[in-house]
Structures are given as C-alpha cells and as structure tokens.
Amino acid sequence: MIARQEIVDEARRYLETPFLHQGRVPGACLDCAGVVVCAAQSLGLSGEYIDITDYPRDPATQKMVDILDRHLDKIPFEKALPGDVLLLAWAQNPQHLAIFTGIGTIIHAHEDARRVVETRLTKELIRCIRGTYRFRGIS
C-alpha cells in the first residue's frame, strides 16, 4: 500500500520542471494535470485513468471534474491530508490541479511561474478550491 507522503515526495521530485501545456515528462515538461498523473503513474495508482490530454488551456467543460469524480474519492477540503488532490478554478470553470502537502502548501505546475512549484496555500487559493479528492488504496 502506498503511503500518502510518497505522493508528496514524488511530486516534489518534479519541482522546477518546466511548464508545458499537456506536458507529461517529469524533469522535462509538465502541466498541472501532468504533475498529478505522473505522480500517480509512478506510484502505481490510477494515473492512467485520470489522465486528460485533449483539453484547452481554459477548460469550458466538466470533463476534468467528471474524471476525478469517477476515479478518486471526493472529500471535504477540511479533511484533506498529504497527497490529496485539489481542484481549483481561476475563473468560472475548474481548470487547475495541485497536490496538497499537508503543511500548508501545494505542489503544482504554474503557468505564470513557468515551472512546477511548491506554493503556500493562501486564503485566496483556498477560495479557488472547487473539489478535494483522495486516491484510492493509500494509507
């Protein structure tokens, strides 16, 4: 069984990886979904089921939400633990994924920073959360 901290540690290995929309190559190019998908695949979780590759930069559909709802367990943000996945919306539609570290930060590929970063989870970011998800089969 995979421990939650292993998800965080795997995502931290991707820090400083350059941002590329739909990137799926740790160390070379990742986007926000790529961080989650590659960490899941590396650890033998359901990464292949949650991979989304045919999306525009600003998703206008519920596709990402539908895939997360189908393959991960939705939980209240207040119950988030290290390794859980946060779904955020910068505008109207949820369009960004991040991995919660449990220490008040998230790991995500940030287009403005042009790389994978670990960012403090501010009150402003908390207001952007539209869903919190947990991988199945972790301890």
**Nearest 5°: CA angle at 61, between 111 and 121?**
40
Q: What Å distances lie between residue 85 and 28, 34, 104, 131, CA to CA?
A: 22, 12, 14, 8
- What is the mean pLDDT of each successive set of 10 residues along the chain, which is 139 residues long? 94 98 95 94 78 66 82 96 95 87 96 96 95 91
Tell me phi and psi for residue 8, to 5 degrees. -60, -45
How many residues make up the chain in this entry? 139
pLDDT at residue 38 in the model:
95
The pTM is what?
Answer: 0.93
pLDDT at residue 117 in the model:
98
